[in-house]
Structure 1
Amino acid sequence: MSSGNGEAQQTRIGIMGAGAIGLYIGGMLAGFGSLVAFAGRGRTLEALSRGLAITRLGGFKIELKPHQYRAGDVTTLAGCDIILFCTKSGDTQEAATELSKVVNPGTAVISLQNGIGNVDTLRQCLPECDVIPGTVPFNVVRMSPNAVHCAMDGAVLIGPGSSSQRLVAAASNSPLAVEVRDDIDAVLWGKLLLNLNNGLNVLSGVPLRRQFEDPAYREVLALAMEELLGVLDAAGIQPAGATRTSPRLIPKVLRLPTWLFRIVARQQLRTDESARSSSWDDLVAGREPETAFLNGAVCRLAEDHGMRAPVNRMICDQVGRAFAQAQSPRLPGRKLLELTRSAAE
């Protein structure tokens, strides 16, 4: 990553957490001229020393050479103007503490993580930084240590902040879409609604498209979503969708007959057979599950308001068992629906 006079005014972008999302977004920016630095470890750094391959739904492909970006430990991010924080939720505090030792005051740190609560943790650990909420509402699969595939369409959504438009400008040279949303906090709750399927994907053991073909799996997801919506009502929180679709309509759409569901949700189903949830990737990689920050967040919010969230609690428990056994139980849709209805009684 050169620092010649011609590049002096370019926005320097750091990626904290070089997993599937971090590699994809950083790679898309680097591949189209942005100055990008990846902070990673072990196998990822070794892989990045050989290059980075990115593919997308529809046939897009780009192969980056190592000279098109920088990669190293957290010190590689020193001097970056914007840092995209892409670690797993369970690693937020440790990673933010590491970052605090090298980041400059006033640096924009944009959280692109799943779950609720990461932004608060970042603001506590990085009090002199401009921490901005964000979310990635599309699916990215890690095909190998240095190859990622984006299996869905969508834009990176970020909140307003001192450097939000700088990131939009940097992305404008690439096929990566970045949008600023004034209602980003509401969008994060809407994204959580969709992320409730992450654990279900672990329990089903099948790709997302096949899972959504089964009305029983869709019913379980609808019940989990309705539970969250009820808790949000009690908390006075109004969720917003990443698209024009109201989050409150999603459970109704999930319950449509499969032939009609395919028509109504055709844009959301525009994905390929490789698409699985990030929780599935965590299971395969032997990482800790993020369920505590997803379905577990529903349970905690429910408890705060004197309510129960038995469906989401059941999902947390079942996913915990799957990770403890290091394999998916591959529950058929009807079996998972039976467990769900039993838990809700």
Structure 2
Amino acid sequence: MTQPLHPVVVVGAGAVGCFFGGMLARAGHPVVLVGRPQHVDAIERHGLRMEARDFDEHVRLRATTDIAAVAQAQVVLFCVKSGDTESAGAQLKPHLRPEALVLCLQNGVDNADRLRTVLPPRQVAAAVVYVATEMAGPGHLKHHGRGDLVIEPVTRSEEVAQLFAQARVPVEISSNVRGALWAKLVVNCAYNAVSAIAQRPYGENVRSPGIQQVMSDVVAECLLVAQAEGVEIPGDIDLAVRRIFETMPTQLSSTAQDLARGKPTEIDHLNGLVVRRGQALGIPTPVNRTLWALVKLLEGKQQRAG
């Protein structure tokens, strides 16, 4: 596949969507970003600034606030916050081409399943995202590390993998995407809430007394819940957790970024999900519950201040 017939459309063009959409655009593929007005205005005027470790440039691509842009797409990168999954899916449904593939690039383990309740199931594919990014300003993306995907095998998986490969984005097609999603969930549960509460990056947090033990307790609870759900988590999860602070020491979690900007977090779909699943299965998750409750407390404080 050398060039898609229609643009790739990114729905929810925040940091994750801008990174993957920007990488495709840099490789010459037509891309449309659907995002917030302040980002759209900046990108339309100057292009998307991609500040990465090995390049810093303005990438020209289209941007709009109108979700009807998905009518042009063969591939949709679905990057909205987990709490907006069903509502955003309902908005794009009337505009979606019958043959379009919607690739879920979201945090959490159940977004693709939730999206399939709104869209035809054959149009939805789950993906696991490994990338450290943030929006440093309107239309300004900062990339701190990684940038690869794991996607489930569907009719067009190979085609999508080739598309990303041309953009220097590694893609693995895996029949155990559920396990890979849980592996990422475990990592997020270990890091995100701690980073959000402290408003400090991963590398600083792990050097603080007791934090690595807290993270180990979080991981142990998550693994018990995953095991009870029959999830097979691939690889060495302890190594995966350790690699995050070794390779991304300066990264603030997305949860920390959301709190800093006064935005709702995805904590209900991270530690909160583990708490709910644990409760349903009769598995105590006191450390995950504590982190979830503290982030919710900070969210509530911000809402009252606003």
Residue 216 (structure 2) aligns with: 222
Structure 1 residues 39 and 154: alpha-carbon distance in aligned structure 2, compared to 1, 3 A threshold: closer
Residue 97 (structure 1) aligns with: 90
Matched, 1:143 2:136: yes
Matched, 1:74 2:51: no
8 Å CA contact 1:295–1:313 kept in 2: the answer is yes
Residue 246 (structure 1) aligns with: 236
Residue 317 (structure 1) aligns with: 293
Deviation for aligned residue 1:169: 1.6
Deviation for aligned residue 1:236: 2.2
The within-5 A match list for 1:227-238 is 227-238=221-232
Residue 162 (structure 2) aligns with: 169
Give the counterpart of 1:55 among 41, 45, 51: 51
Deviation for aligned residue 1:326: 3.0
Residue 256 (structure 2) aligns with: 280
SS in structure 2 opposite 1:269? Answer: helix
- For structure 2, which runs of at least 5 residues remain unmatched after alignment? none
The within-5 A match list for 1:251-262 is none
CA RMSD of aligned residues (A): 2.1
Sequence identity (%):
28
Matched, 1:204 2:194: no
Residue 270 (structure 1) aligns with: 247
SS in structure 2 opposite 1:175? Answer: coil
Matched, 1:24 2:19: yes
Deviation for aligned residue 1:74: 0.4
Deviation for aligned residue 1:229: 0.7
Q: 1 CA distance for matches of 2:3 and 2:184?
A: 36
Matched, 1:125 2:118: yes
Amino acid at match of 2:52: R
Structure 1 residues 71 and 177: alpha-carbon distance in aligned structure 2, compared to 1, 3 A threshold: farther
Q: 2 CA distance for matches of 1:235 and 1:20?
A: 31
Q: 2 CA distance for matches of 1:268 and 1:30?
A: 30
Amino acid at match of 1:324: G
> C-alpha offsets along residues 155-179 of structure 1, whole Å, 9 cap, x if unaligned?
1221111222222222222232222
SS in structure 1 opposite 2:107? Answer: coil
Q: TM-score, normalised by structure 1?
A: 0.81
Q: 2 CA distance for matches of 1:129 and 1:39?
A: 23
8 Å CA contact 2:194–2:205 kept in 1: the answer is no
Q: TM-score, normalised by structure 2?
A: 0.91
Give the counterpart of 1:43 among 24, 27, 38: 38
Deviation for aligned residue 1:293: 0.3
Residue 159 (structure 1) aligns with: 152
Size of the alignment, in residue pairs?
300
SS in structure 1 opposite 2:32? Answer: strand
- For structure 1, which runs of at least 5 residues remain unmatched after alignment? 1-6, 255-264, 328-345
SS in structure 2 opposite 1:176? Answer: coil
Amino acid at match of 1:169: Q
Q: 1 CA distance for matches of 2:117 and 2:228?
A: 27
Amino acid at match of 2:246: L
Amino acid at match of 2:288: N
Runs of 4+ residues deviating >6 angstroms: none
Deviation for aligned residue 1:62: 2.7
Larger radius of gyration: 1
Deviation for aligned residue 1:291: 0.6
Moved more, 198-207 or 174-183: 174-183
Q: 1 CA distance for matches of 2:295 and 2:64?
A: 33
8 Å CA contact 2:4–2:74 kept in 1: the answer is no
Residue 29 (structure 2) aligns with: 34
Q: 1 CA distance for matches of 2:132 and 2:287?
A: 24
> C-alpha offsets along residues 30-49 of structure 1, whole Å, 9 cap, x if unaligned?
11111111112322221221
Structure 1 residues 313 and 325: alpha-carbon distance in aligned structure 2, compared to 1, 3 A threshold: same
Matched, 1:304 2:292: no
Q: 2 CA distance for matches of 1:124 and 1:131?
A: 10
Structure 1 residues 120 and 128: alpha-carbon distance in aligned structure 2, compared to 1, 3 A threshold: closer
